[in-house]
Amino acid sequence: MEDSTTRIALAGNPNTGKTTLFNALTGSAAKVGNYSGVTVDVKRGTAHLLHGDEVELIDLPGTYSLEGKSPDQEVARQVLCGEHDQIPRPDLVLCVVDASNLERHLQLVLEILEREVPVVVVLNMIDLAEKSGLRLDPVKLSEELGVPVVAIQADKKKGLVELKQAMRKPFPPAPESLGWEKGDEDSRRAFGLATGELAARRPEAHSSNTSDKLDRVLLHPFWGWVFFLGVMFAVFWSIFSFAGIPMGWIESLQDWTIGLVEEAMAEGDLRDLITNGIIGGVGAVVIFLPQILMLFFFIGLLESSGYMARAAFLMDGFMSKVGLSGKAFLPLLSSYACAIPGVMATRTIDSAKERLVTIFVAPWMSCSARLPVYLLLVPMLLGGSEGGSVQALVLMGIYVLGTLTAFVVARILRGKLGPDEVESHFLLELPPYRRPQWGYIFRHVIERGWAFLKKAGTVILGIMILLWAATTYPKLESDDPGEVLSHTIVGRVSDAIEPIVKPMGFDGRTGTAILTSFAAREVFVGSMAQLFQIEETEDEGETRNRIRDRLAAETWPDGSKMFTIPAVLALLIFYIYALQCLPTSAVVAREAGSWKWAIGQFVFMSAFAAVAALIVFQVGTLLFS
């Protein structure tokens, strides 16, 4: 049976607003960033045209050319040429171009026109182009190219009605003759430049705009870095300082719920499971929701304002020193939020060897799941309550340490893999600074917050229930809580692993909490709350710092302090380096094309974390004692 679906592909250079247009036409909320490489996979959605006709929209990855070798360029080329095994050839291609960079963006349009498909050119971001003094002439452009041209402002949803009209059948035919020699790169480039100049006239005296003026400071070899570090510090300081109030609310809610359950139920296993296992364990993780939301808010703000691309530009020189190109920066940057999209974003890297190295080190960029662990341990290290600039500095140092280690390992690994067969070029466009798209930022923040809560309500809840069972069964009738615990599964596991983890400064319970967090690292906080709560009695005056206070008071059987500075440092170091995320390993196996890489990465990172923790504790103990 013939497939009657009308397919329309969105193609264009990176950062032309394709994803914004895709969202505007389909009403979906795909992630939007103000830097290249956000779309590495093909997104598909349904759009409704003016008379209710349904079409399938295919958002292709942004690419500068169809002739490159990177996986994203391959995908775009395959779809446009009808060679993709899952997506049939589109009936129409919407070529999205940034009106401010017409000459350069037209090159891809001309390449697509050579493929003889019906094309509509979408001139996006006309407001910014006109603000910079350009005088646009869409009619002239249409005449020169022989295809319809529609001027729009995707973020403000202006021009969408005209665009939808152009998307109606019958589609404009592919131009019969081209104004340049087909397949000849020089002829194509010359035509593109000439057409671009005709359709977007620059004023005689080019006065520098606000973006240029800002870039003079923000991309300065010295002041650029000062600003970059200042921004990073402000982000970490805010995460520590502003989240206290909402965290207090979550905690009060937690205490209130526990009180309610204790009033309503008689003492027993179920009540214990609900209060200590579920509310106590899951609550210990959920309490970090405000900080996670803030982290994603800042990432969204930096992306959407255009600063993220400047950060990539600043880092490019640094990256080349470790054998990676600037193309590896964006995947690594994404990994600060979550290693999974980071690993997937490596598809934009042309060189297979550079791609493997980037995948290998990406999980060392501290992801948001590590944040709850850091937020628990950093104040313990400094011996104070949460907040303050010193803690923010330490937190920033943790991120820097993970990043630097990743670079050093990348350098070594890159050397071992040998040089590339194909030279890789990094082309990054600096978009103009824009007013942040608040709607998108907040939608993104809510989405990520919801994903975090969903995880807390499923995987983490499950692990907490199992952990409660492991700390309860098998039961022993005794009045001594220590004896009861050592009879349980956790007690036995703790005893068994204590000799292994003790040289790192941890007791069996901390070792067990580490074991429980191998599937998802944030589980560690809830596990510690459960494992160390057992011998404690009810304390009405518990505050937000209760886990920390409890841990700080813990002692070894000989009476010496358990969580000394070297021990907390060793624990921090372990969490900076260990790869405790099963989904990441699954994605690495898929992207690297082999489980060998995923297993190798897991073993290497776990061993590295254990050895680093061992060294830190042993050396630290020598220095502090």
Partner 1 sequence: MTDWQSWVALAIVAVTIVLFILRARKAKGCNSCGTGSCGTDRE
Q: In the complex, which residues of this chain contact partner 1 (CB under 8 A)?
A: 28, 30-31, 265-266, 268-273, 338, 340-341, 344, 447-448, 451-452, 454-455, 458-459, 462, 465-466, 468-469, 472, 520, 582-583, 586-587, 590
* Residue 372: cis peptide before it, omega within 30 degrees of 0: no
Q: Identify which of 402, 440, 419 has the alpha carbon closest to the alpha carbon of residue 576.
A: 402
Could you identify the residue written with the tokens 């790869």? 579
**C-beta of residue 105 within 8 angstroms of C-beta of residue 62:** no
Q: Measured from the CB of residue 466, what is the shortest distance to partner 1 in angstroms?
A: 6
DSSP notation for 576-597: HH---BHHHHHHHHHHHT-HHH
Q: Measured from the CB of residue 558, what is the shortest distance to partner 1 in angstroms?
A: 36
The 3 state secondary structure assigned to 434-487 is CCCCHHHHHHHHHHHHHHHHHHHHHHHHHHHHHHHHHCCCCCCCCCCHHHHHHH
What are the structure tokens assigned to 442, written together? 């907040």
Q: Measured from the CB of residue 3, what is the shortest distance to partner 1 in angstroms?
A: 19
Strand partners, 158: 153
Q: Measured from the CB of residue 471, what is the shortest distance to partner 1 in angstroms?
A: 12
* Residue 90: cis peptide before it, omega within 30 degrees of 0: no
Q: Which is nearer to partner 1, 178 or 469 (CB)?
A: 469
**Residue 54 is inside which H or E element, if any?**
strand 54-59
337 Cβ contact list (under 8 Å, min separation 6): 295, 296, 299, 367, 368, 448
Q: 331-344: buried (b, 16+ CB within 10 Å) or exposed (e) per residue?
A: bbbbbbbbbbbbbb
Q: Measured from the CB of residue 84, what is the shortest distance to partner 1 in angstroms?
A: 16
Q: Which is nearer to partner 1, 396 or 469 (CB)?
A: 469
The beta-carbon contacts of 583-592 under 8 Å, at least 24 apart in sequence, are 583/340, 584/339, 584/340, 584/343, 584/363, 587/339, 587/340, 587/343, 587/344, 588/343, 588/359, 591/343, 591/344, 591/346, 591/347, 591/359, 592/356, 592/359
Q: Which is nearer to partner 1, 340 or 562 (CB)?
A: 340
Q: How far apart are CA 506 and CA 571, in angstroms?
A: 8
Q: Which is nearer to partner 1, 260 or 265 (CB)?
A: 265
Q: Which is nearer to partner 1, 137 or 262 (CB)?
A: 262
Q: Measured from the CB of residue 38, what is the shortest distance to partner 1 in angstroms?
A: 10
**C-beta of residue 514 within 8 angstroms of C-beta of residue 490:** no
Q: Which is nearer to partner 1, 292 or 609 (CB)?
A: 292
Q: Which is nearer to partner 1, 215 or 522 (CB)?
A: 522
Quick one: 478 exposed, middle or buried, by C-beta within 10 A (0-12, 13-18, 19+)? exposed
Q: Measured from the CB of residue 324, what is the shortest distance to partner 1 in angstroms?
A: 22
Q: Which is nearer to partner 1, 370 or 448 (CB)?
A: 448
Q: Measured from the CB of residue 498, what is the shortest distance to partner 1 in angstroms?
A: 25
Residues 482/485/491/494 CA torsion (nearest 10 deg): -50
Q: Measured from the CB of residue 366, what is the shortest distance to partner 1 in angstroms?
A: 15
Q: Measured from the CB of residue 31, what is the shortest distance to partner 1 in angstroms?
A: 6
Q: Which is nearer to partner 1, 397 or 439 (CB)?
A: 439
Q: Which is nearer to partner 1, 386 or 522 (CB)?
A: 522
Strand partners, 120: 94
Residue type, 495: D
Q: Which is nearer to partner 1, 30 or 231 (CB)?
A: 30
Q: How far apart are CA 39 and CA 297, in angstroms?
A: 20
Q: Measured from the CB of residue 373, what is the shortest distance to partner 1 in angstroms?
A: 17
Cα distance from N-terminal residue to C-terminal residue, the chain: 79
Q: How far apart are CA 86 and CA 94, in angstroms?
A: 20
Q: Which is nearer to partner 1, 252 or 458 (CB)?
A: 458
Q: Measured from the CB of residue 576, what is the shortest distance to partner 1 in angstroms?
A: 20
